[in-house]
Structure 1
Amino acid sequence: MVKEANCLHKRCVKCRSRGELGTCGDPFPFNVTEPDAEAGIHVVACPSGWCGKMIEGTTGAFRTDDYGAATQRMCLQRSPSDDEERCAYTMWNHRKVYMCFCNGDLCNSAYKISAPPIILITILVAIYNYFQFSL
C-alpha cells in the first residue's frame, strides 16, 4: 500500500555539481528511476510538483580560480506565481543565474531546449518555402 501512495506524489532530482565532470550537469545521463544510481544524485518527493534546475556562473561571473559553472537540481517549495514552465536568467541570492522551472514527475532530469515561438515559426516558414519552391 505504501508504494501506491508514493506514486501519487511527483518527484524531482536533487543534486549539485560544478564543472564539466560533475554528475549533475547536462547532459544528464543517469536513469533516475533506479534509486542510488549515482553518488550525490537523489530522487526526492516534491509536494508542490514543481522542479527546478539552476546554473550559476554561465555569465562570466566566475574568477579564473573557480571550477566553472555549477548546476543544481531541486524541488521548489511552491510554483512560480504564473504557473508557467520556463527557463530564463534571474537573480538568486544577489547573483545572476539561469533557472528553469518545470511541473511533472522527474521533469528536471531532462535537458530541455527552449526557443522563443518567433524562432520556431521562422524555421517552419523557411522549411515550408524551401519545399514549396524546390518542387
Structure 2
Amino acid sequence: MYKQLVLASFLLFYVQISNGLLRRCYQCRSRGELGSCKDPFNYNATDVENEPGLSAIPCASGWCGKVIEGGGTYAVDDYDQAIQRMCVQRGPDDNQDRCANTVYNYKKVYMCFCQGDLCNHGSTISLNTFALGITVFAIIHNCLY
C-alpha cells in the first residue's frame, strides 16, 4: 500500500509539472551561420546560462514557437535564413503541435508551435515531456517492485 501511495503521489506531482508549472521556451535569434539559435540546435537547459544570446524564459501560455524565415527553395546558401525561438501568446485553435508555412510579421515563414517545457529546441516538434514521464514512471516502477 505504501509503494502505491508513493507512486501515486509522484505521478500527481509529475502531471502538475508537465501541465504548466515549469513551462519555459528557448528565446534566441540567428541569421545564417551567426548565433546559437540555428539548426541543428545543440543546447539544453544547463547551457542557457553560458551561451550568449540564448535564454530559457517562462511562458505563461505554455506554447513555444520556432520561426524559420528566408532560405527558401531559391536560396543559394542559408545566409538569408533567420531562425527565431520564442514563447508565443497562444497556440493553434485546436491545441495541436504543428509546423506549417504561414505569414508572421508580414513575411512568409515556416513556423512550428509546441506545448511543453523547452519544446522548441529541435528541427521538428517532439513529445519530450511525454517520453520523460514514461521513462521516469518505468524507473520508479522497477525500483518499487
Shorter-chain TM-score above 0.5:
yes
Say which of 97, 103, 115 aligns to 2:115. Answer: 103
CA contact (8 A) 1:89 1:96 kept: yes
Q: CA deviation at 1:31?
A: 2.2
Cα RMSD of the aligned pairs, angstroms, is 2.6
Residue in structure 1 matched with residue 135 of structure 2 by the alignment: none
Residue in structure 2 matched with residue 89 of structure 1 by the alignment: 101
Q: d(CA) in 2 for partners of 1:105 and 1:92? A: 23
Residue in structure 2 matched with residue 43 of structure 1 by the alignment: 56
Summarize the alignment of residues 43-122 of structure 1 with structure 2, pairs less than 5 Å apart: 43-59=56-72, 67-112=79-124
Q: d(CA) in 1 for partners of 2:125 and 2:97? A: 12
CA contact (8 A) 1:48 1:77 kept: yes
Structure 1 stretches of at least 4 aligned residues deviating more than 6 Å after TM superposition = none
Q: CA deviation at 1:80?
A: 1.4
Q: d(CA) in 1 for partners of 2:114 and 2:57? A: 15
How many residues end up aligned between the 2 structures?
Answer: 107
Q: d(CA) in 2 for partners of 1:25 and 1:45? A: 21
SS of the equivalent of 1:33 reads helix
Structure 2: stretches of 5+ with no match in the other structure: 1-16, 127-145
SS of the equivalent of 2:120 reads helix
Structure 1: stretches of 5+ with no match in the other structure: 115-135
Higher helix share: 2
CA contact (8 A) 2:25 2:118 kept: yes
Distance 1:94 1:60, change over 3 A: farther
Residue in structure 1 matched with residue 32 of structure 2 by the alignment: 19
TM-score under structure 1 normalisation?
0.69
